[in-house]
Structure 1
Amino acid sequence: MKAILTTFFFLITFSAIGSDKIEITGHITSGKEHLPFATVSVNDGAFGTSADDHGHFKIELEKGKEYTILVSAIGYSPQQKKITATKGVREIHFNLDKDLLQLNEVIVSSSRREQSRKETAAVVNVVSKEIFTASSSKVVADGLNFVSGARVENTCGNCGSSSLRLNGLEGPYTQILMDSRPIFNGLVSVYGLEQIPVSMVDQIEVVRGGGSVLFGANAIGGTVNIITKAPQFNSYEVGTNISTIDGKSNDYNVYFNTSVVSKNDKTGAYIYGSYRNRDAWNANPNDVWYKVDDSGQAIGAPLKDDFTELPQLKTASIGTKIYHNFNDQNKITGDLRYIHEDRRGGNKLNEAPENTDITEWINMGIVSGSVNYDWFSKDKKTHLNGYSNLQYVKRNSYYGANQAPDGYGLTTGTTYVGGLQANLDLGKMFNAQTYFVVGTEYIFDEINDKKLGYFDQDSGQETNDIPVSNQQSQTMAIFAQNEWKGNKLSVLIGARMDYVMIKDFENPENNKNVPAINPRINLKYNITDDMQLRGGFATGFRAPQMFSEDLHIEVAGGQAVRTVLDPDLKAETSFSYNLAWDYEKKIGNVQTYFLVEGFHTRIKDRFDNQYQYLDDGTLINYKRNSTSDAIVQGVNLEAKVAPSEKLNIQAAYTIQTAEYEEDNQWGDEDSSTSKYILRTPNQYGSLTLNYKPAQKWTTSLTGIYTGSMYVPLLPGGFIDGQPVENESLIETQSFIDMGVKVSYKTTLGRKATIELGTGVKNIFNQMQDQFVSGADRDAAFVYGPITPRMYFIEVKIGNLL
């Protein structure tokens, strides 16, 4: 027995002497409340863990070594502490302050690597969950209006297509990314912003100007990076939103999402789904229109307007994102999603499209998936990322007027993006921390569009399918970027080289090989700890190929508008400059943030659209290079103030000019010209205000201001019963689209919370004051707020609300 006790004592003593690990217990709070699921990072990400649902964590450290521990949580300012692992240190406490203005988000869109938004060399705006919640957003498009310099507009009164303008530039000038990958191709972008539910989105990062040129072509106006949710901890949420326009047109939306993570944090899965059903809406049912003969003269009795301003819409989506950590150095992530949408606008929605006066209908399915592999060196100073993304789109459609049998079409698109990227932490160089990014990327994009054959009643013959476009583009790119981060001055220099090969199988003379090199430089100077100055220059380009907006067969004056490319069409190029000053200061308990940003973008060899009527009545949009440059310049202003946890106010405003150097022809070959870039207001802005009168209650006020702008009106249709016979340029009124929401949150049980909300969108029912009636109307004559006054109620249940 004595021998056994001696051996046992020896083992314990040997273990205590030989052990080189010390277990540290930590707890994380904010005030008196513990924070669940906070992220704990040790030595700049060398290793780490997450807090449990009570805000506690444990980590093992080597005895005698010094460590830097950083704790961060969404909605809170991060806190960092240095400790030395000794027997006397067994517990460490972090008390985080609430980041009421959300200024410390981690972003990737500025330099293709994760970093705090405050540390980036370029100005980055983030659309977060809080903005989606305050504005009661259903889809991505609803939240983007609350970013300075950004404006979402409706571009078609029949089908309800939308477009995002950054710094006044049209939709094709913005590079939209999904998880940093350019799979949001031209075919998807026509309706895509309305197809992505916010239930799958973690945050949206917006970089204005060409400061994110490393992500590829089209990043002239800027880059919008939609970061989808990833599993972080066990959670769930289900909800519904029911909206109504005067009790006549309703919009129903239901969704769910859940996240499951293994106990050892090695494996996790996030699953989401949503369904939306919106009724069509007609703005002017009491207006009248007439059928017209071949000479354009009104004939027959007056007819009541029954044409939609908002199309009928049904959208369903489902998807998942899964990760597995093999160890601290290797991680694989995969995602798969499917979106299906059926939208229809025009009139006689219950009849077959070829029996109506006008119909724009699409039935679209989008399936996409990706695999990402990450490898980290043991010291976390080297990060290799390989990625592969594939997307397939199938779109059945009908675009036609006056019972046209040939309006049916089928469009398919395949997009593949694959690449390899290396992020290197090179340590100190020139007395500054140095980070180097290098990579290569391959993009394949194929679009096939055709008009479907039909049975010709007059001839008794079956017609053949007619190809509209069969185009393929392949892009091979390499990019490199170096960033020096000093205490005062940070310098970022990078460039991307693209080689684009375009094949047009219908018109081989349009085949092109387009090389392009686009550099960027960004500087950031810390004037004080609270004040920073940023400046940048970048070039950009758009390859001369068919884009989705071209394949979207718009109906103008009752005619199908088809695009034809000039055989000599060459790439557009751009030069962008920006200079920004921002100031972040906590005065007592009041958190404040202010930004002033000046921008200037010049576009050369820009794509110019000219309309021409053919003998058969088809309206051709002829795309060629213009000799007149386009110049957009102005100032973005932002202000954020949070006096307390009960109140925060955020406002953004843009003042700009958007003009051509010479007058631009905007109609057919005999039309008038304009120096203004059309559909672009010189002033616009947004406001959000959140007030919590009590712990369980929140009141949100949102507003979107759109200044006056010039909008073209093409011949066709009727306004106030009178025919629209001539082209004209309309100067619109300005609009203030205000919304209010009241919500109440309470617990249902130990791990369940319910939130009830109700409110009104577009309180003052701000809408354009003229609508065109009739089958021959100009469908693109839409401006101002997208939806009229709308009442809504919503319910959410989850464990993390």
Structure 2
Amino acid sequence: MRYTILLLQLFLFNIVLAQQATITGFIQGESGLPVPYATVGLRGNEKGTMAEGDGRFLLEDLPTGSCQLLISALGFKPQTLSVTLKEGITNELTITLESASSTLDEVVVTGTMKAVSRANSPVPVEVYTAEYFKANPTPSVFESLQTVNGVRPQLNCSVCNTGDIHINGLEGPYTMVLIDGMPIVSGLSTVYGLTGIPQSLIARTEIVKGPASTLYGSEAVGGLINVITRSPEDAPLFSADVFASGWGEVNTDLGFKARVGKKAHALVGVNYFNYQQPKDKNGDGFTDLTLQDRISIFNKWSFDRDEGRTFTLAGRYVYEDRFGGELGWDKGDRGGNDVYGESIYTNRWETFGTYQLPVQELVTFQFSANGHDQNSVYGETVYQAQQYVGFGQLTWNKTLGEHDLLFGTSYRYTWYDDNTPVTAGFGDDASVNQPSKIHLPGAFVQDEIRLSPQNVLLLGLRYDYNSLHGGIVTPRLNYKWNSRNNLNVVRVSVGNGYRVANVFTEDHAALSGAREVIFEDELLPETSWNGNLNYVRKIFLGNTVVGLDAATWYTYFSNRILPDYETNPNAIIYANLEGAAVSQGISLSTDLSFANGTSFNAGLTLQDVFTRENDVKERQLLTETFSGVWQLGIPVLKYQLRFDYTGNVYGPMDLPLLGPLDDRPRQSPWFSTQNIQLTKTLSNGMELYGGVKNMLNYTPPANSIARSFDPFDEGVEFSQDGSVLATENNPRALTFDPTYVYASNQGRRWFLGWRWSLK
């Protein structure tokens, strides 16, 4: 009997062994290099292991059938992999993990105008992936940048909610916005061009802080924002991202790709945003958030050519109908003086591309063109404008020994016409408009010299000839040092920038009918000198990687053009500053990655932006001295959940008052907007997400719009010199004015969304 029991036990043991399986595998990053010490576990089972230093792992004695592997590694996104295990069979897997860092050490093109590893670039470039912005989903690139350190979306009007992007305290017109390296947002579209880019098709966003006029010419004084779209070959077959908010906003992003013939690849994206529920929670009689109806269509092509030469062609069309104003307004009131409204119709098209010439040398032609038609009313004031910009650039990249040379020549043509005095006729042709036509040919050279494996020097020089203002020279110097292990990197940048201003296309306040616009003299081009010191450090603390990025900068402007709101409360006076303007500050960012996939990013910026004229120092209006941003992401792999907590905080800003009797605060208070989000990943790859935006429910004071009850100043009396008189009905000597704005009136709201990508 004893032998019978023993034989039965051996038989059952063999059955159990036969029902067990083994997994061996290799874990690598996107570069193909092994990922050491990754954690590999079986969902619903205590089985788990850690990969060796060469990325290889072994899991034994696993139950047969379908199961899910959970893989996580320091600095990489957690991954779930479905496998089917069969008895007695060893499963061999190769697993590729995607980097989880918000600022990737990948190939960048901004800053040097050629592909280079971010770690090797002598120009400091910040890179933010599409995944980074998913932690706080927004309907536009404009809003998404609120979580980037030192970058702030600034509203310029309480009524129509148009805005621009500030980098290190410098206003929107000092920032050049590119799509795939081509300048498509300029002039008129500095106000509206950052909306309507389908975010489902954005691969990453590259940001350079500081002047880049040496490569990109006028407008790149404060910095660059380069939106890099997906290549048609690498994009998902189909992608969708739809979300709605408790305020009634609906945003839809759709994208799909197709192969056309044997050598062409096409990528199509559509963005549609709609908000049609006017709200007035602060009780001032005006919409808290503008009504918007916007559609954007994007199409990009790439073509297979001999020897891998590049040829891409893209186009985008944007239409937007935007309204803000009194709640009783309808389209019949547009341009009238019964009910106040600001209504803006925008039509915009763009095309841009890159073609590598069929020659032995690396010679590339890049081009872009855009047309912008704007039909706007601000109360009774009508602003109609058209702008067409054509741009072409030829570059030659040549390596000679330790010198990596880039030669380039470019030409930009800008045609602009509107119904303001800027383009009004004169003399015998006073009744016929005289559109502005600017020719801007230029040439540049750049030499990147590798002095040693740890030292790189970049020298650059550009010459532009503006048909209105003559020749302008912009030099720059960049130096990079890195330690032998690349854990420490120091970059020094010195450069010159310039900008030719058009206030009607750049400053919303010049268009609102609330103030008269006065030009003291002909405006001369602004010029600036900038110095920047950047230090990057990586620290390994056990299973945690800490990234530090510290920078300090100093920018000195001459001929700075600033609007004067205070000399005459009923006017805006534009003139070149006789003194100097300065932007200086420091910033610090940290990026922590943990082995379980948790990530934490935070940054703070301290800055001082001021003008000095006749020994009088004045802070720039609507510019904070302190700002901070943060983002915390916590994955819960067991349930395929992710929790994100994002936010920002801003210090006080000086605000434009209407005179000594204006009783509104001279400075804004400290304020913060904070958001939470929970994302659930389903087994088919779909994601459901939702959360709360502005959960502290911060909004500006209800009296941000002065005399909102009298938008046409019917109850205001003026003196002979145009100043406002204090009367019994207007004891504070105020006029209707929407420029006292520093934050959105949109309070707390929930949001729900769904996204899916079909590879």
The letter of the residue matching 2:442 is: A
Cα offset, 1:350, TM superposition: 2.4
Assess, with a 3 A threshold, how the Cα gap between structure 1 residues 344 and 467 changes in structure 2: closer, same or farther.
Answer: farther
Task: Write the distance in 1 (CA, Å) between the matches of 2:700 and 2:565.
Answer: 26
What is aligned with 1:267?
A: 264
AA at the equivalent of 1:639: T
After TM superposition, give the deviation of residue 563 of structure 1 in Å.
Answer: 5.5
Residues 467 and 745 (structure 1 numbering): CA distance in 2 closer, same or farther, change over 3 Å? farther
1:661 aligns to 2:612 (yes or no): yes
Give 1:479 deviation, angstroms: 0.8
1:315 is aligned to 2:269: no
Q: Quote how far apart the aligned CAs of 1:181 are.
A: 1.8
Correspondence list, 1:153-172, <5 A? 153-172=154-173
> Do residues 226 (structure 1) and 227 (structure 2) align?
yes
Q: Which residue of 2 aligns with 1:393?
A: 372
Aligned match for 1:769, one of 679, 701, 708: 701
User: Is the CA contact 1:322–1:335 (under 8 Å) kept in the aligned structure 2?
Assistant: yes
Counterparts of 1:68-147 in structure 2 under 5 Å?
Answer: 98-101=98-101, 102-147=103-148
* Match for residue 484 of structure 1 among 442, 449, 452: 449
Over residues 28-47 of structure 1, what are the superposed CA-to-partner deviations in whole Å (9 max), with x where a residue is unaligned?
Answer: x9976798xx6889xxxxxx
Conserved? CA contact 1:564–1:623, under 8 Å: yes
Deviation of 1:221 (Å) = 1.3
| 1:509 aligned residue | none
Q: Residue 448 of structure 1: CA displacement?
A: 0.8
In the TM superposition, what is the alpha-carbon distance from 1:391 to its structure 2 partner?
0.7
Match of 2:6? none
The alpha carbon displacement at 1:322 in A equals 0.3
CA shift for structure 1 position 167: 0.9
Q: Count the aligned residue pairs.
A: 640
1:367 aligns to 2:349 (yes or no):
yes
Which residue number corresponds to residue 623 of structure 1?
574
State the 1:466 CA deviation.
7.8
Q: Does 1:693 align with 2:623?
A: no
Corresponding residue to 1:516 among 464, 472, 483: 472
C-alpha deviation, 1:306, in angstroms: 2.1
TM-score (normalised: structure 2): 0.79
d(CA) in 1 for partners of 2:266, 2:669: 49
Q: State which of 450, 456, 459 in structure 1 corresponds to 2:419.
A: 450
Cα drift, residue 649 of structure 1: 0.4
Is 1:440 aligned with 2:420?
A: no
Equivalent in the alignment of 1:566: 521
Post-superposition CA distance 1:357-411 (Å, at most 9, x none): 3211111111111242114766xxx4211122111111111112xxx3xx33321
**Cα distance change, pair 521–706 in 1 and its aligned pair in 2 (3 A):** same
Task: Report 1:577-656 matches (<5 A).
Answer: 577-610=531-564, 620-656=571-607
Judged with a 3 Å threshold, the aligned counterparts in structure 2 of structure 1 residues 325 and 122 are, in CA distance, closer, same or farther, namely same
My pick for the range that moved more, 137-146 or 770-779, is 770-779
Cα deviations by residue, 1:696-753 (Å, 9 ceiling, x for unpaired): 11111101111111111226xxxxxxxx9548761111111110000101133xxxx2
**Pair 738,230 (structure 1): closer, same or farther in 2 beyond 3 Å:** same
Going from structure 1 to structure 2, the CA distance change for 1:688 and 1:637 (only over 3 Å counts) comes to same
Cα distance, 1:769–1:550 mapped onto 2, change above 3 Å: closer
Distance 1:93 1:181 in 2: 42
1:255 aligns with 2:253: yes
1:798 match: 757
Q: Give the letter aligned to residue 437 of structure 2.
A: Q
Q: Does 1:704 find its partner at 2:658?
A: no
Q: Does the 8 Å contact 1:714/1:727 carry over to 2? A: no
Letter of the 1:734 counterpart: W
- CA shift for structure 1 position 549: 1.9
**Which deviations, in whole Å up to 9, do the C-alpha atoms of 1:513-536 show, x marking residues without a partner?**
321101010000113420011111
Query: What amino acid is aligned across from residue 792 of structure 1 in structure 2?
Result: F
Please list the CA deviations of residues 55-79 of structure 1 after superposition, one character each: whole Å capped at 9, or x if unmatched.
xxxxxxxxxxxxxxxxxxxx969xx
Report which stretch shifted further, 363-372 or 647-656.
363-372
Structure 2: state its 5+ residue gaps: 1-22, 34-74, 78-91, 422-428, 712-735
8 Å CA contact 1:714, 1:728 repeated in 2: no
1:730 aligns with one of 659, 666, 677: 666
**Counterpart in 2 of 1:497?**
463
What does residue 60 of structure 2 align with?
none
Q: Secondary structure at the match of 2:329?
A: coil
Match of 1:741 in 2: 677
Distance 1:194 1:330, change over 3 A: closer
- Deviation of 1:138 after TM superposition, in Å, equals 1.9
Shift of 1:566: 1.9
Q: How far, CA to CA, are the matches of 1:514 and 1:682 in structure 2?
A: 36
In structure 2, the residue matched to 1:412 is: 386
Cα deviation, 1:652-681, whole Å, max 9, x if unaligned, reads 1101111222379xxxxxxxx861111111
What letter is aligned with 1:257? G
Given that 1:258 and 1:272 are in contact with CA atoms closer than 8 Å, whether structure 2 keeps it comes out as yes
Q: Post-superposition shift, 1:611? A: 5.5
Q: Secondary structure at the match of 1:630?
A: strand
Q: Is the 8 A contact 1:565 1:622 kept in 2?
A: yes
Distance 1:727 1:221 in 2: 34
Contact 2:149/2:628 (8 A) holds in 1: yes
Question: Which residue matches 1:210?
Answer: 211
1:21 aligns with: none
Could you tell me which amino acid in structure 1 is paired with residue 694 of structure 2? N
Question: What CA distance in whole angstroms lies between the structure 1 residues aligned with 2:321 and 2:150?
Answer: 31
1:363–1:490 CA distance, 2 compared to 1 (3 A): same
Q: 1:211 to 1:611 in 2, by over 3 A?
A: closer
CA deviation after TM superposition for structure 1 residue 785, in Å:
4.5
Gaps of 5+ in 1: 1-28, 42-74, 78-91, 287-304, 453-463, 502-511, 665-672, 716-723
8 Å CA contact 1:514, 1:543 repeated in 2: no
**In the alignment, is residue 756 of structure 1 matched against residue 683 of structure 2?**
no
Contact residue 24 and residue 93 of structure 2 kept, 8 A: no
Q: Contact (CA 8 Å) 1:357, 1:775: kept in 2 or not?
A: no
Mapped contact 1:399–1:560 kept (Cα < 8 A)? no
Asked if 1 retains the 8 angstrom alpha-carbon contact of 2:214 and 2:444, the reply is: no
**1:344 aligned to which of 318, 323, 338:** 323
Query: For 1:498 and 1:425, how far apart are their aligned partners in 2?
Result: 25
Deviation at 1:162, TM superposition (A): 0.9
Residues 728 and 745 (structure 1 numbering): CA distance in 2 closer, same or farther, change over 3 Å? closer
AA aligned opposite 2:531: Y
Q: Given the two structures, how large is their TM-score scaled by the length of structure 1? A: 0.75
Displacement of 1:468: 8.3
Q: Deviations over 1:138-189 (max 9, x none)?
A: 2101221222211111110111111111111111111222222222111011
Task: Name which of 418, 421, 424 aligns with 2:398.
Answer: 424
The residue number in structure 2 matching 1:296 is none
Letter in 2 for 1:736: S
Q: Where has structure 1 moved over 4 Å in runs of 4 or more?
A: 29-35, 38-41, 92-98, 261-264, 280-285, 464-469, 544-547, 550-553, 611-614
Closer/same/farther in 2, CA of residues 345 and 699 from structure 1, 3 Å limit: same
Q: Against the structure 1 CA distance between its residues 187 and 479, is the aligned structure 2 distance closer, same or farther, given a 3 Å change threshold?
A: same
- Which residue does the alignment assign to 1:461? none
Distance 2:338 2:420 in 1: 18
Residues 635-644 or 97-106, more deviating: 97-106
Matched, 1:575 2:529: yes
Partners of 2:534 and 2:549 within 8 A in 1: yes
The 1:40/1:693 distance shift into structure 2, 3 A limit, reads closer
Work out the CA distance in 2 between the residues paired with 1:481 and 1:517.
14
Q: Is the 8 A contact 2:157 2:509 kept in 1?
A: no
Question: For the residues of structure 2 that align with 1:30 and 1:177, how far apart are their CA atoms?
Answer: 46
